[in-house]
A = this chain, B = another copy of it.
Amino acid sequence: MIGVVSGERLFRGKVFDVVREDGKDVVEHAPAVAIVAVDGEERVVLVRQPRAGARRELLELPAGILLPGEDPLVGAQRELREETGLHGGDWVPLASFFTTPGFSDELMYVYLATGLDEGDPSPDDDEQITIERYGPDELSGLLETVEDAKTLVGLLLHLRR
């Protein structure tokens, strides 16, 4: 393609950069993971926390950014344990997708985890996380209140299974 300029870096940030490619600004962001985690009582485990983009608290799937070179499944298991203490169990991929393909290269991998063991969370110092659990009868109503794309995708795919 004529006019491709690869890697003109316009901004270097702590979590993402901005590059101009073929005349368009693109947010370069590491891949991320999110987990539909089902506990021993068939409840889905969600996290409520302040979010910089939303500028308020949101209720979401446990999620996080992959470490450099980290396998998505390994990263998902690490993030779930850090945020909720849940670990072990059976894991299957539900979906992978671009969160905002018009302006960012962020890829999101979503897993379903069942048969999990309980444990103690170990959140990062700057995370302020509240854990909430929702039973099967509550999920349809919960969908009406969810305001996060990956959480909608994960819960909707879980409900189809």
Contact = CB atoms under 8 A, between A and B. Distances in A.
A72 to B, nearest CB: 14
Q: How many copies does the complex hold?
A: 2
A15 B21 contact: no
Nearest to A108: B149
Nearest to A96: B147
Nearest to A32: B102
Contacts of A105: 53-55
A101 B153 contact: no
A146 B149 CA distance: 14
A14 B21 contact: no
A22 interface: yes
A51 interface: yes
